[in-house]
Amino acid sequence: MENPINLIAGLGVVPVIAIERASDAVPLADALLEGGLPVAEITFRTQAAADVLAAIRDARPELCIGAGTILDKGSLKRAIDCGARFALAPGYDPEIVEAAKAASLPFCPGIMTPTDLTLASARGVRLAKFFPAGVAGGPKALSGIAAPFAHLGMRFIPTGGVTEATIGEWLAVKQVIAVGGTWIAKTEDIREGRFAEISRNAAAAVKTAKEALEKRA
């Protein structure tokens, strides 16, 4: 089975999804797969998150599922038990970093400042979520924050305020392996059953990210 981080880096984009009903899990998975996007971050912002992970794991194992908004070790354990192959958080908590490491789960804690990055890198973190990316200053800010840590091989997944129109700007930063996007599968689109729209959004994001990665190469 492919390493999830390698898969994400190859795609250049991860859909960040808050889904309210487990019954929508498989239709969502099918929409993403149809759009050529075989990965999803299911955020633990809803009560359904763990059940959604389990439903996709069981019915659509070809979709690489991860858990987002992991704020405590209990959520991390539930995510792992329900099939998450990677996880992310909006901030840095050393206890969660260590728990993920003990479980051999690729984990991407959130950072926004050089101080955050100093603390995370000291714990062995080499892949961080830059969040909230837009509010934090965009690609130029990340380039400046990342520069003193370049020798450590730090890599980033900017999330929060990223749009399809800005994918290219983010992926032009060589330390960025992928962007996280909430626009691909919005909560309201899932709620209203607009899965064809989600497929179109996924396909467009994959195309844009591919072009940006090819340009960078």
Structure token digits, residue 173 = 């930063």
Cα 77 to the chain's mean position, in Å? 18
Q: 94-102 and 73-81 are packed helices; what angle lies between their axes, rounded to 10 degrees?
A: 30
Q: Which of 41, 62, 174, 186 is catalytic?
A: 41
Q: Which of 129, 192, 197, 215 is catalytic?
A: 129
Hey, is 153 helix, strand or coil? coil
Element (H, E) at 34: helix 25-34
By CB atoms closer than 10 A (0-12, 13-18, 19+), residue 142 is buried
Q: Is 41 a catalytic residue?
A: yes
Q: Is 129 a catalytic residue?
A: yes
CA distances from 46 to 21, 87, 188 (A): 9, 16, 13
Residue whose entry in the numeric block shows the structure tokens 């955020």: 43
Please list the active-site residues.
41, 129
